[in-house]
Chains A and B, each alone.
Chain A
Amino acid sequence: MSNKDIISVNLKVWRQDGPNDKGRFEDYSLKEVNTHMSFLEMLDVLNENLMKEQKQPVEFDHDCREGICGSCNLVINGIPHGPEARTAACQLHMRHFNDGDTITIEPWRATAFPVIKDLVVDRNAFDRIMAAGGYVTVATGNAPDANAIPISKIDADSAMDYAVCIGCGACVAACPNSSASLFTGAKVAQLSKLPQGAPERKQRVKAMVEQMDKEGFGDCSNFAECEAVCPVGISITSIATMRTEYVKAMFS
């Protein structure tokens, strides 16, 4: 944690021209980094500098810059989303770095998330897992009154704890097996807590788990690295729930 207002940093940034390029690290140094800047604002400055020299800026994904859309996907010094716990890369501020630090920046690395360019990866596999079963079938206009089914505050809160997943993929990037279990488990667990999820309970978990395997994500071996990097604190109890649900679905 720096107590200076202005620091200098050295960056080692992953550059890759396209999916078929081998890729390499390139070094940049940035002076006069205001520590109140966000990490992405620091990258904006880097890109401005590069473009002022008519060079190619670094491509990275971002949108909301408030930790909710799940777009940003930087591995910072080897840690998905960087050193601050429960913080997406876009919410990380430069005050957490020191003057003279060297910072390595890479994209998520996983077979199921191929690199598109530089730090940008393809995460459409997550959409396909959701399409396989991450929903309650209820056509528009078919719903009963919202208060018709009471749900205890405890269940609603617990469903919400799982529902806050931002779909960023850090869990996959952190997992030695590149497993998507935390992401998939979060949706399964959310819907397992709610009566609305009950009718499709079995098909849902089967279809989602099968799709996850098909996409080339690995198995879960309980390393719990995923939980440690998850910016919204999704608990690995979701994975346990997914397993129980899966077993129940297969053997009943």
Chain B
Amino acid sequence: MEVADKTTFKWDSKIPTGPLTEKWKTHKNNVKLVNPSNKRKYNILVVGTGLAGASAAASLGELGYNVKAFCIQDSARRAHSIAAQGGINAAKNYQNDGDSIWRLFYDTIKGGDYRAREANVYRLAEVSNNIIDQCVAQGVPFAREYGGTLDNRSFGGAQVSRTFYARGQTGQQLLLGAYSALMKMVHSGKVEVRTREEMLDLVTVDGTAKGIISRNLVTGKIERHAADAVLLCTGGYGNVFYLSTNAKNSNVTAAWRCYRKGALFANPSFTQIHPTCIPVSGEYQSKLTLMSESLRNDGRVWVPKAQGDKRHPNEIPEEERDYYLERIYPSFGNLVPRDVASRNAKNVCDEGRGVGESGLAVYLDFADAIKRDGEKAIRDRYGNLFEMYQKITDENPYEVPMRIYPAVHYTMGGLWVDYNLMTTVPGLFALGEANFSDHGANRLGASALMQGLADGYFVIPYTIGNYLTEVTPGEVDTTHKAFDEAEQSITAEIEKVLNIKGSKTILDFHRQLGKIMWDKVGMSRDEQGLKEAIEEISALRKEFWSDVFVPGQPATYNKYLEYALRVADFLELGELMARDALDRPESCGGHFREESKTPEGEAKRDDENYTHVSAWEFTGVDKAPVHHREPLIFENVKLTQRSYK
């Protein structure tokens, strides 16, 4: 299947003119404002209640809009953001170690291997400080120094200490802060939260987003919701790999349905493989558990120097250990960015020096830190992570080094958005992990929480006004034929999948897809593997639609039906990811093409030909999508080969 090509990008990214440091300020002064008394006439749907969705829904409710928010879980507070551990970045420079908005911007652009937009990233760094202020005011109990001021820690890819944290539960505390703001708006009647309700389609009228179709997950009833704007805050799609650190309900369906309705999907293959996760233990494994990157502040990564050394780690003498990150990258050491740490772990395991039963693990050792700072200090910093590790592996990391291995963790790709966070479908916005905007080809640690909250608290409340002033509120209601059509197609799809009554379970398909993705669209990719992946996924998808068994009835609580619909969409997304990876023969950030590496084996970019965003346009299932390219223009930073040596 040939890919139709369009080299020019016909959609405007709406980046304001003027110097980088002034763009956002100027833009805020220029956006059109909705008259306060008119705001209540506008209905906004916010799909998702993670950091992005909860903060957006609460802030828009406060401004006076009518907001309806949706989530899959039984409470808004359970969104996947709750699981984030390590921290959130901000350019406060409280540590007086030379941090600044510029430096945070620069680190993020560089960390993303120069595949993100300067203007978006600068704005992100600019609002980062407001986020910390807002969260503290909400009562988020960030870690503090004895003097009462806020504490910071370091994270990978940065040489300053700018990460704010709340023990190992930063995401939980930030989400509970946003959730509390959201519940306050629920109390005041400005926001309605629909829990256990899943968006299954976007409704467009003349190409403009006017509502959604959802399924009430308790009763199975298909529902219609009309609105003047739809905000997609539905998180990432790492579960396309089956095993990932994402929560089990994380999925691509909402974003995928928008893609099918005309929203471009950008850089789908840009996936982050996180270096510090608990290794796979068996076939039955249902998900992978992250051990926060913050552990690399104190833990030292090593493997035995010799291949196949099966001795107990504590019996391997110092001189027979290879602290390979410290050896290869003396200036960043254990704090190299994630993509670099992951690839190196894979390399040492490929060399036969991996540890543990499977040989697919490396050690993360705290012995030196405990000797230096005492067990109590380490317990204070990472107690709950150590506990979690012990619960899962039955090993005590205070005594035996942790075993870790890379796992799929985050997806930098997502719906293409302009500077206002609007997709190519007017009225449809995407926030948080669901969009592609700020992390380029690799996300730095503690930057996803920052981005989700930046989008929700500080960007969308300004930029949505620009769009809304152009539309008449309530133009379309749920009796419009676009709703009839969308509802009929969803009902038919549900019936179809339930009636296959095949011989394989949904999990069988998901696992098989995950294996193809991990082997061929995972940590390293090459042309042949990617071509095979495209064929294999397409075949698997056909098999799914003829041989899957989905239990139960449409109109009841039915988790496996939900699951089947999500896996069906993953089976389409996986193919697009492989295509996207194939059409980018350079290596950059988390996207590593075997064909493109430096003599030292590091990712080698090809700036001349690939300094662009790839954005894909749907043309039909089993049909080749159209490839668009948005050139990335760097006016303020010089593109260099990333070096962490």
Question: What is A's interface to B at a CB cutoff of 8 Å?
Answer: 18, 34, 36-38, 40-41, 44-45, 47-48, 50-52, 54-57, 59, 61-71, 84, 86-87, 91, 93, 95, 116-117, 120, 122-124, 126-127, 130-132, 134-147, 149-153, 156-157, 159-160, 163-164, 166-167, 190-191, 194, 196-197
Contacts and interface: CB of A to CB of B under 8 A. Distances in A.
Contacts of A142: 137
Interface stretch (B118-126, B280-288, B337-345, B467-475): B280-288
B284 A65 contact: no
Interface string B349-385: 0000000000000000000000000000000000000
B153 interface: no
A137 B286 contact: no
A196 B73 CA distance: 29
User: How big is chain B's contact interface, by range?
Assistant: 35 or more
B75 interface: yes
Contacts of A135: 138-139, 180-181, 183-184
Interface in B288-331: 289
B391 A130 contact: no
B147 A150 contact: yes
A45 B501 CA distance: 19
A131 B184 CA distance: 5
B150 interface: yes
A156 B557 contact: no
Interface in B140-166: 141-150, 166
A57 B147 CA distance: 55
Among all A-B residue pairs, the 8 with the closest Cβ atoms? A150-B148, A135-B180, A143-B137, A143-B133, A131-B183, A146-B136, A140-B59, A159-B141
Given A70-B78, A140-B181, A51 B141 contact: no
Nearest to B166: A160
A242 B136 CA distance: 22
18 contacts: A44-B286, A52-B505, A56-B551, A70-B75, A91-B391, A123-B74, A127-B77, A131-B184, A135-B181, A138-B134, A141-B458, A143-B137, A144-B133, A146-B132, A146-B136, A151-B148, A153-B148, A159-B141
B78 A69 contact: yes
Contact of A167 (B58, B75, B133, B505): B75
Interface string B545-571: 000010110001111100000000000
Contact of B144 (A95, A152, A190): A152
B461 interface: yes
A134 B181 CA distance: 9
A150 B150 CA distance: 8
Interface stretch (B6-14, B167-175, B527-535, B637-645): B167-175
A91 B278 CA distance: 14
Contacts, number: 219
B144 A63 contact: no
B77 A167 contact: yes
B130 interface: yes
B62 interface: yes
B180 A69 contact: no
Interface of B: 55, 58-59, 62, 73-78, 80, 82-83, 92, 94, 130, 132-139, 141-150, 166-167, 169, 172-173, 176, 179-181, 183-184, 186-187, 193, 195, 218, 247-249, 281-282, 284-287, 289, 387-388, 391-392, 394, 457-458, 461, 501, 505, 507, 549, 551-552, 556-560
Given A66-B388, A127-B75, A164-B169, A51 B557 contact: no
A1 to B, nearest CB: 10
Contacts of B76: 127
B391 A93 contact: yes
A23 to B, nearest CB: 14
Given A51-B560, A153-B145, A190-B139, A65 B78 contact: no
Contacts of A65: 247-248, 286-287, 289
Given A123-B74, A140-B181, A156 B247 contact: no
Contacts of A63: 73, 78, 80, 247-249
A44 B183 contact: no
A196 B287 CA distance: 38
A61 B392 CA distance: 20
B507 A48 contact: yes
A44 B243 CA distance: 14
Contacts of B289: 65-66
Contacts of B388: 66-67, 91
B83 A68 contact: yes
Nearest to B558: A59
